[in-house]
Amino acid sequence: MPHTYEWAVLRVVPRVERGELVNVGVVVYCRALDYLGVWFTDDLGRALALAPDLDVDAVRQHLDAVAAVCAGAPEAGGSGRRTPGDRFRWLVAPRSTVVQTSPVHTGITEDPDAELRDLASAMVAWPPGSDPRPPLERPSTTRPDG
């Protein structure tokens, strides 16, 4: 049975004042299945090309914090204790930081895990034949059963 889902792209904006950005991940939320998942790349080479002085450690910490919020992990603090829908809304709220999200988009799916992988491949991964990294791995997700 198909379900509505929402998704947004995670972007690194190395110098907010310039407005240049690089897609680095995807967040998917499906209310009907109580699903919240995230996938992001460890490869920040494109962002470094825009800003060689980018604080890569800070970006990685921010992306790890996004994953912790998605998973409802204890290290996410109060944000991690919210419902998956509230966590998604908190993650996609507009902000002027180095890691931002795109506007929220919607779709219909029977398998949000598959949508997350497909979106990551379409929106983040290198073009076919030019990807120096291994294939996409299973996304981080949170569900009511853990």
CA 45 to CA 141: how far, in whole Å? 25
Q: How many helices (H) and strands (E) does the chain have?
A: 5, 6
140 within a domain of the structure (yes/no): no
Whether the predicted model's global pTM rises above the 0.95 cut:
no
Could you tell me the residue range of the domain that residue 22 belongs to? Answer: 3-128
Concatenated DSSP letters for 129-143?
T---SPPP-PPEEE-
Model pLDDT, residue 139: 54
Residue 134 inside a domain? The answer is no
Give mean pLDDT, residues 104-119: 95
Joined together, the tokens standing for residue 76 give 């996410």
Give CA 85 to chain center in angstroms: 15
Task: Give the tens place of pLDDT for each residue, 5-19.
Answer: 999 999 999 988 888
* pLDDT (0 to 100) of residue 140: 56
Residue 129: per-residue pLDDT:
56
Mean pLDDT value across the chain: 88
Residue 142 lies in a domain: no
Q: How far is 38 from 140, CA to CA, in rounded Å?
A: 5
Average pLDDT over residues 100-105: 97
| Residues 85-100: tens digit of each pLDDT | 999 999 999 988 899 9
| Average confidence (pLDDT) over 54-58 | 95
Beta carbons of 46 and 56 less than 8 angstroms apart: no
Other C-beta atoms closer than 10 Å to the C-beta of 64 total 13
- The beta-carbon contacts of 133-138 under 8 Å, at least 24 apart in sequence, are 133/41, 133/42, 133/43, 136/39, 138/113
Q: If you average pLDDT over residues 78-90, what whole number do you get? A: 95
pLDDT at 51 over 90: yes
| Structural domains in the chain (count) | 1
Residue 141 in any domain: the answer is no
Rounded to an integer, the average pLDDT of 25-46 is 94
* Selection from 31, 27, 24, 4 nearest residue 123 by Cα: 24
Q: What pLDDT does residue 125 have?
A: 81
What confidence score (pLDDT) does residue 16 get?
86
Q: Is residue 8 part of a domain?
A: yes
